[in-house]
Chain A
Amino acid sequence: DGGITQSPKYLFRKEGQNVTLSCEQNLNHDAMYWYRQDPGQGLRLIYYSQIVNDFQKGDIAEGYSVSREKKESFPLTVTSAQKNPTAFYLCASSIDGFSYYGYTFGSGTRLTVV
């Protein structure tokens, strides 16, 4: 079955530590996205990528980094520069980046700072 796989489901980060969240899709979608969701807030865009080897900052990119070396994969690294990383992270993909089609979301990664 086609879909988006995010791992791990739960992740605990120590102060000063970088962590990487995995996102893999087998939908043959060109565009991929990372959103962050905090309680009582909408989804906020961190980074997005329309094609391989290209990505753009979203609204809250500070403290995060991404790569898009393969069409199927769009990992997100939460660096120590992100001071409040505790949140629910959602990876999504769409057929292309022209906003005409909706997103397919992964199941999410819940990140907690310990």
Chain B
Amino acid sequence: QKEVEQNSGPLSVPEGAIASLNCTYSDRGSQSFFWYRQYSGKSPELIMSIYSNGDKEDGRFTAQLNKASQYVSLLIRDSQPSDSATYLCAVPSGTYKYIFGTGTRLKVLA
């Protein structure tokens, strides 16, 4: 059974700090990875994708991928209260679908 694991949290960080969210996966063949943000009561929203080892930056967000260690991370710099949400990691399962982690709840304290 292919798995994606995330710490459920909550992860609490002060406003302006860096939030670090981690995700590990079991399928070594996975090629593309995604981070979604889900506000309470709302649907997930795609915020980052990463396909190659290393870092990918987009504004205050940085995704990090290490295929050898089978983990993908999301860093949020200068965290804001509006970043408070659940962050879901998604990994492809086969060709046509994804497995989602249970998500990490982030709380940014003003």
Contacts and interface: CB of A to CB of B under 8 A. Distances in A.
Interface of A: 31, 33, 35, 40-43, 45, 48, 50, 56, 58, 90, 97-108
B96 A99 contact: yes
Size band of the B side of the interface? Answer: 20 to 34
A42 B103 contact: yes
Given A100-B32, A102-B90, A31 B96 contact: yes
Given A97-B95, A98-B95, A99-B92, A108 B42 contact: yes
SS class of chain A's interface: helix, strand, loop or mixed? loop
Contacts of A35: 100
Nearest to A106: B43
9 contacts: A40-B8, A41-B102, A42-B4, A42-B102, A42-B103, A99-B31, A99-B96, A102-B49, A105-B43
Contact of B98 (A90, A103, A104): A103
B100 A105 contact: no
